[in-house]
Amino acid sequence: MKTLEWIGWIVLTLVIAFAVHVASVRYLPNAIMHIAMNKMGTANQMHHAKRPDETSRGVVRPSPDLLYSACPFDLSKGTLEVQAPVPPNTYWSVSAFDSETNNFFALNDKQIGGQPLELLLLPPHGGQEPAMHIAGQLVVRAPTQHGLVLFRTLINDEKNFAKIDAVRRQATCALSGAPRKGTSRGG
Amino acid sequence: MKVFSKVLAALVIGTVLGLCLTWFAVVRGSMPGGVSDGPWKTNLLIGNTGGDMATRASVAVHGLLALNRSETVYYTTGTDSAGNKLDGACTYRIAGRDPATRWWSITAYAADDYLIPNPAHRYSVSKTSVVHEADGTFIATVSPKPAPQNWIATVGARYSLTLRLYNPDPAVVRDPAHATLPSIVKERCP
C-alpha cells in the first residue's frame, strides 16, 4: 500500500514536471519578446538606438556596423502607419516580428526600389480594411496584436555616417490618426 | 495537512524539474537544424516563421529578431579551424576571400553575447572596412594587442565570432554548409 502511494506521488510529480516543461517552452518566445519590447520603450513610437558598442544591452549580439531603429507595436487601438525614407547606396531593411518572435514581414532597399516606405500594419482581427490600395503603400496584417517593426541600416562608409544616421532617424510610426512621435530624433 | 505538504512538494519538485528540462533542452541545448562549414555554424531555421513549438522557442533564445537566410545568413563559431576553443589571450589570423554576398562582417562577442569592451572600438571587420592583400584575399587579426590593420580586439577571456552575410548569393542560401568562408588559425598564445 505504501509503495503504491509513493508511485502515485512520483507520477504526479512527473506529470507536473511535464506540464511545466511544455508550458514554459510554449510561452518562452512570448516572454523573450515581451522583455525585448519593454527594453525598447513606448509602443507605437519609433526608437532610434545609438550605434551599437560595448555598452549596448538592448538585444544580444548587435552588429556594430548597423544602425537599428525599432517600433514596438500595440494594435489594440487600430492600424499602425510606418513611414521611412530609404538611405541611398547602402543596405537597408525593414522587418516585422509578432509577439511569438516569428518574422512575418521583411523588405530590403533593393526590393523596395528607391521608393520611401509606406507601410500599414493592420490588427490581427477586424480593424479597418483600407478602402483602396494607394500606389506604393504596403498593407500587411499582423498575426498578433503586439510585436516589433525593426529597421536595419548599414554604415557602409564611416565618412557617410552622419548622413546615413540622419536619414534613418526620419523613420516614424504611429497609430492611424495619432500624432507622430519618435525618440532621439535628430539627436 | 500531511496530504497538503505532499501536494506542495510534488508541485515544487515538478516545477523545478520542468524548468530544468526546458533550460537544458532549449536554452543550453543546441538548436535543431544546425549545419557546419569548417568552424562556422549556422542554422537553417533562424528567421523562419512557424515551425513547431520547440523550434520556435529555440529560435527565440538563439536568434531573436534575426532575419531569414535569403536576407542574411549568420554563421557563428566558438572555435578556430582546428576545433580548439577561441581564447581571448591568443592571437588568431582569419584569412580568406570575400564570401559570396552583397556585404559581410566578422564581429567578436564576449561570453555574455555583447560586444567586447576595447578603447579603440575595434569590434569587427567588414567588406567595406577590410584592407585586402594584393591577390584580393584578406587577413584579419583577432588579438588583445593592436594589429596594424584589419584588427578585431579581444580581452583575455573566451569569446565567439559571428560572420554575417547580407543578401548572400543564391548558392549560399541554398547550401550554407558549402560556402567559401575564411579560416581561423591560432598564431600564438602568451
What pLDDT digit, counting tens, does each position of B110-169 carry? Answer: 988 899 999 889 999 999 999 999 999 999 999 999 999 999 999 988 999 999 999 999
Choose, out of A14, A25, A33, A157, the residue to mutate when testing the contact with B (most B CBs < 10 Å).
Answer: A25
Three-class DSSP category at A99: coil
The single residue listed with the C-alpha cell 539627436 is: A187
Of B72, B71, B37, B43, nearest to B56 by C-alpha is B43
Give chain A's radius of gyration (CA, Å). 21
Mark yes or no for CB contact A104/B64 under 8 Å.
Answer: no
Residue type, A118: E
Backbone angles phi, psi at B24, to 5 degrees: -75, -35
A57 close to A185: Cβ distance less than 8 angstroms: no
In this complex, which of B10, B18, B50 lies closest to A18 when CB atoms are compared?
A: B18
Q: Do A54 and B118 touch (CB under 8 A)?
A: yes
According to the 3-state scheme, what is the secondary structure of B95-111? EECCCCEEEEEEEEEEC
ipTM: 0.88
CA-CA distance, A113 to A109, in Å (whole number)? 6
Q: Decide if A17 and B164 are in contact by the 8 Å CB cutoff.
A: no
Chain A, residues 100-159, CB within 8 A of chain B, namely 100-104, 106, 108, 110, 148, 150, 154, 156-158
Average pLDDT, chain B: 90
Describe the strand order of the beta sheet including B72-77 as a list of residue ranges.
Answer: B34-37, B40-43, B72-77, B159-168, B101-110, B124-126
* Beta carbons of B115 and A54 less than 8 Å apart: yes
As a whole number, mean pLDDT of residues B23-44 equals 83
Task: Judge: B114–A154 Cβ closer than 8 Å, yes or no.
Answer: no
Mutation choice for A interface testing from B28, B114, B151 by most A CBs within 10 A: B114
Grid cell at residue A103: 518574422
As given in the structure block, the three cell numbers for residue B144 are 588583445
| Banded pLDDT at B32 (limits 50, 70, 90) | low
A91–chain B Cβ distance below 8 A for any pair: yes
**Across-strand partners of B115?**
B109
pLDDT at A85: 95
A19 has a chain B CB within 8 A of its CB:
yes
Helix (H, G, I), strand (E, B) or coil at A177: coil
User: Which residues of chain B lie closer than 8 angstroms to A15, CB-CB?
Assistant: 14
CA dist., res. A68 & res. A57, Å (int): 13
Q: Are A133 and A92 in contact (CB under 8 A)?
A: no
Closest-CA distance of chain A to residue B117, Å: 5
Per-residue pLDDT of chain A (187 residues), as tens digits, is 688 889 999 999 999 999 999 999 999 999 999 998 998 889 999 999 999 999 988 788 899 999 999 999 999 989 999 999 999 999 999 999 999 888 899 999 999 887 899 999 999 986 555 544 555 678 999 999 999 999 999 998 889 999 999 999 999 999 987 766 666 533 3
Among B26, B64, B76, the residue to mutate for chain A (most A Cβ within 10 A): B64
Could you tell me the pTM of the whole model? 0.88
- Show the cell assigned to A51: 550605434
Q: Residue A186 has what pLDDT?
A: 34
Instruction: List chain B residues with CB under 8 Å of A92.
Output: none
Sheet of A66-74, strands arranged across: A103-108, A92-98, A146-154, A66-74, A46-48, A182-183
Alpha-carbon distance A67 to nearest alpha carbon in chain B (angstroms)? 14
- The percent of residues in chain B predicted with pLDDT above 70, rounded, is 95
CB atoms within 10 A of CB B101: 19
Cβ contact, residue pair A32, B164, below 8 Å: no
Contact A17 B107 (CB under 8 A): no
- So what's the pLDDT on residue A135? 58
**A160 DSSP assignment:** G
User: For residue A185, what pLDDT is reported?
Assistant: 37
Residue B117 sits at the chain A interface (C-beta within 8 Å): yes
- Between the CA of residue A44 and those of A82, A151, A172, A181, what are the distances in Å? 9, 14, 9, 9
Q: Report helix angle A2-40 to B2-22, nearest 10.
A: 50
Q: Determine whether the interchain pair B21/A17 forms a contact, defined as Cβ–Cβ distance below 8 Å.
A: yes
Burial class (CB in 10 A: 0-12, 13-18, 19+), A3: exposed
